[in-house]
Chains A and B, each alone.
Chain A
Amino acid sequence: MKRKWIRAGVSLLLLGLAFVGGWWARVAMRPPTASAGGSMIVQRDFTPMISDARTPKADSTVSEPAMVTLYYRVLDLVKREYVEPVDETKLMQGSLEAMLAALDDSHSQYLKPQQLEQYLKALNGTVSGIGAVLKLIQRKTTIKVGNTNETAPVAQRLIQVVAVLPNSPAEKAGLKTGDLITEVDGQWVLSEDPFAEVAQLQRLHSERQQIRDADRRARERLRTAIPISEAIQRLTRLPKTGEKPELTLKVSRGGQSIELKIARAETRVKPLEYSRVRGQYGYIRLNILNTQAAREFDQAIRTLQQGGMCGLILDLRQTAIGQQESALKILGQLLRVRQVGLVETREGSTYKKRPLLLSGAPKGTNLRIAVLIDGGTYNVTELMALALRTGAKARLIGMPTAGDASQAVLYQLKDGSAFTLTVGRYYGADGTVFDKRGVQPDDRVTSSPTMRGQPNGDPALDRALSWLAQSQKEVRS
């Protein structure tokens, strides 16, 4: 009797385990939940761990545990001793913000909960503000000093337009990739130390009057300046009640300063749009590389093929929002090989390159593919263009791409905030470097479209069409 019960118990246990096993098998097969936006992000789930497990080195004062202790001590003292009550969350945010900012890397930053939400909304196709993808860049330049022939070196941090979203206020106003935003509503965006000139004049022992004049100019500039973070906020949020929706921007384009009036609104971006061009060619435009785009891509290809498509034009111009997983899914439909590219990561003080592979077998296609690229083709999208060239014999048409090969990861913290970190660098499958240089087109078309995606209104598209027609003839003959 007893044995019977045991047997029944064991059976039930096995059945239960089978159920759990099945569940687990499905979960394990699932690709990591991807979420991000704003720029290209791979998600890695992230749970903070406590440091207790590690033992500090006996005498070292700079080991990680010693530093954690130091952080704890300072935090504790401020909380207890500061003359007024302090907000612990603010202190933590301030510290994480500063730590990530210290890396001086545009893909490594702390995101407060509302910033994360904005990020995720952008990835899902709702972009607030002027409707452009912005990036902080750094450059070294020199400024003229007073009325002397001398110059002073200055380090600048500037807001650069990476890409402009379709049907956004920024597009309507004519904002372009590469534009540097220097003024917002008549206020100078604080890009450099305004006293650099004064310091240089002092070093040169210039006349007192000249130094005072420079000092006055610097103070005047500073009086109207806004910090970069404030400028970015104004550009990427909706107007507050009572605020006028329109912003007047001064942008520097190719060394020339121009003024643009740009409204602020919520722009809905369709991740993917497609159409048939000249009857036999498919045209697919990817605006955002997200899960929706990946899903719709299958559908679009199927529909176009049912219509007898004999060549595909993939438009990756101004594609600067998305995530790596979705890009890989889309590539899986077109590539004939499994390798997409290489990712270099750091291990201690050495760097190692590993192949970046599709998660499944490549489907491959015999379609002739032309890929349209420009300076707004950014990050993973650049890798995509390269992969299509090496893995699907695609022809790249247009302008060199942005040249940003950082692989970034989004880490969520359990309080609803997050941070991003550059963890690797992309290379083409054959080792092609595109960081800073950009991906070079096979066929350079410099004139920009007046009617994007329309024959005769889009020179790069026209070039793609004639190449597809040409190669079709070659195949036939």
Chain B
Amino acid sequence: MKHGCTLCQVLLLIPAMGLLFVLGFLSAEMWGNPSENPANALALLKSQLGVMNKSAKIDPVEAFQSVLSEIETHYYGKPPAVDKLTYTSIDGMLSAVGDPYTRFMDPEAFKRMQEDTSGNFTGIGALLEDAPEGARVVRPLPNSPAERAGVRAGDIIIAVDGKSLERLSVDEAVHLIRGPRFTTVELTLRRQGEPEPIKVTIRRDLIESPTVDVYLEDTENKIYRIWLQQFNEKASTLVSRALNDIQKNGGRALILDLRTNPGGLLESAVKVASLFLPEKQVAVQIVGRQGLIDKLYSDPALYHNLKMPMVVLINGSSASASEIVAGALRDYKIAILIGEDSFGKGLVQTVIPTSQTTAVAITTAKYLTPNGYDLNAKVVDGKRVGGLKPDIEVKSDEDWRITDEDRSKDKQLQKALEVLREQLHAPGAGASALRAAADGSQTR
């Protein structure tokens, strides 16, 4: 009886199970798969997306890893190596930041950077330009290995270490000429008046690029121009010396030319600004993620009491330290700015190693002028907008180069001279009067 009962229970259970199986199957059919309804297909897809959007958080690292391993295992073509793909991906991540200076350095770039800053790359010290057969020497730099070896302006370098430059660009030629310090390079030169090419062997050395050039642009009015080409350790000493000379020679007005000056050391910029600032004043403000980090002050000990009107020339290649100096001199009404919008780079990068062979350069702070103006250009609709706006905007001719000897073509310089002359002949010569004149010419 007992057994029979168990048996009939089991027998009852089997059809019941079957019934429920079918029930489960049908429920899945009805409720589990609504996308079968054609009209609802899109609505469903959308609602699925909607649900996804609500739980929107996704861990970028998980997503990255998933896509990476999916490419490595399932992509049909030959996938790029895991490291290359990762570097590309990180490049993409950093370009989404929208700041060209925040960038990733793969092992190759990181190595190059380490070499660059430790100054391993050196050359012979000559300015070169394109020429039909090779590269023409514009001029050897004073006291450079090239000058000591007898290289002259006008010489055409046709081969480097026996390798012809015929189909190479100047950049490629420069690449061949540069090398580690104290190694030698053999140049084959063609010189006018010499029937045969000349061979010279030059020992490469560290080249100090020129920093400061002084020109008397207007003899009658004694208007001097100081062309400061970069902000290195010596910049403020050299400018200071130039100012002494100008004062001694009875200079009456000054043009500080910061065009195509890419910047350099922050400390150097503060020192150069100090030459013109009578009191201890804020030269630049540094602002980081958490707000103001630091203010750097001018050093009144460096001040030169010039008592002459002053113009600063800037253009689209005046960047960083140049913009700090130009900005400070304008904010304190020491000088007016003439030229074009400056480059717009007042950013501090920190290089942080991310592995033994890679690093990332991140913009961790930015410079503001003493008045709090943000120097940095922003990318709006694919165009860079920003930088310092000159008080008087003058565009240069497209063909003009800062190295050109003929000054009459230099529209920006001519404008500066014109403004300064006008000022010197007006009563009460001084920077503030000059500024008033400049404001007047803007509204005119």
CA distance A425 to B74 in the complex (A): 12
CA distance A216 to B362 in the complex (A): 34
Give the total of A residues in contact with B, Cβ under 8 Å: 103
Chain A binding surface SS class: helix
CA distance A7 to B10 in the complex (A): 10
Interchain nearest-CB distance for B60 vs A (Å): 4
Q: Once the chains bind, are A91 and B167 in contact (CB under 8 Å)? A: no
Point out the residue from A48, A68, A425 that lies within 8 Å of B58, measured CB to CB. A48
Point out the residue from A64, A94, A425 that lies within 8 Å of B96, measured CB to CB. A94
Q: Once the chains bind, are A92 and B63 in contact (CB under 8 Å)? A: yes
B357 at the interface (CB under 8 A from A): yes
Q: Known: A94-B92, A99-B68, A124-B41. Contact between A67 and B398, CB under 8 A?
A: no
Report chain B residues within 8 Å CB of A421. Answer: 70-71, 74-75
Q: Known: A77-B354, A415-B52, A416-B49. Contact between A91 and B89, CB under 8 A?
A: no
Report chain A residues within 8 Å CB of B26. Answer: 22, 26
Q: Known: A26-B32, A423-B75. Contact between A48 and B65, CB under 8 A?
A: yes
Report chain A residues within 8 Å CB of B364. Answer: 81-83
A346 at the interface (CB under 8 A from B): yes
Q: Once the chains bind, are A422 and B76 in contact (CB under 8 Å)? A: yes
Within residues 83 to 131 of chain B, which ones have a CB less than 8 A from any CB in chain A?
Answer: 83-86, 88-97, 99, 102, 104, 130-131
- Can you name the residue of chain B whose Cβ is closest to the Cβ of A205? B132
Interchain nearest-CB distance for B395 vs A (Å): 14
State which of A13-21, A170-178, A301-309, A356-364 sits at the interface with chain B: A13-21
Interchain nearest-CB distance for B83 vs A (Å): 4
State which of B14-22, B185-193, B256-264 sits at the interface with chain A: B14-22
Interchain nearest-CB distance for B333 vs A (Å): 29
Report chain A residues within 8 Å CB of B85. Answer: 67, 99, 102
Q: Once the chains bind, are B104 and A74 in contact (CB under 8 Å)? A: yes
A292 at the interface (CB under 8 A from B): yes
CA distance A349 to B73 in the complex (A): 10
Report chain A residues within 8 Å CB of B399. Answer: 212
Report chain A residues within 8 Å CB of B143. Answer: none
CA distance A88 to B131 in the complex (A): 50
Within residues 9 to 64 of chain B, which ones have a CB less than 8 A from any CB in chain A?
Answer: 9, 13, 16-18, 20-29, 32-33, 35, 38, 41-42, 45-46, 49, 52-53, 55-64
Interchain nearest-CB distance for A98 vs B (Å): 2
State which of A27-35, A139-147, A380-388, A447-455 sits at the interface with chain B: A27-35
- Can you name the residue of chain B whose Cβ is closest to the Cβ of A110? B67
Select the residue from A35, A74, A103, A417 with max chain B CB neighbours within 10 A. A74
A58 at the interface (CB under 8 A from B): no
Point out the residue from B13, B49, B57, B289 that lies within 8 Å of A11, measured CB to CB. B13
Interchain nearest-CB distance for B71 vs A (Å): 7
CA distance A295 to B88 in the complex (A): 44
B247 at the interface (CB under 8 A from A): no
Q: Once the chains bind, are A103 and B75 in contact (CB under 8 Å)? A: yes
Interchain nearest-CB distance for B104 vs A (Å): 6
Interchain nearest-CB distance for A407 vs B (Å): 7
Report chain B residues within 8 Å CB of A108. Answer: 71, 75
Q: Once the chains bind, are B167 and A48 in contact (CB under 8 Å)? A: no
Report chain A residues within 8 Å CB of B162. Answer: none
Within residues 186 to 212 of chain A, which ones have a CB less than 8 A from any CB in chain B?
Answer: 199, 202-205, 208, 211-212
Report chain A residues within 8 Å CB of B170. Answer: 202
9 residue pairs, one from A and one from B, having the closest CB atoms: A98-B92, A94-B96, A22-B24, A92-B60, A95-B93, A26-B28, A48-B66, A22-B21, A415-B58
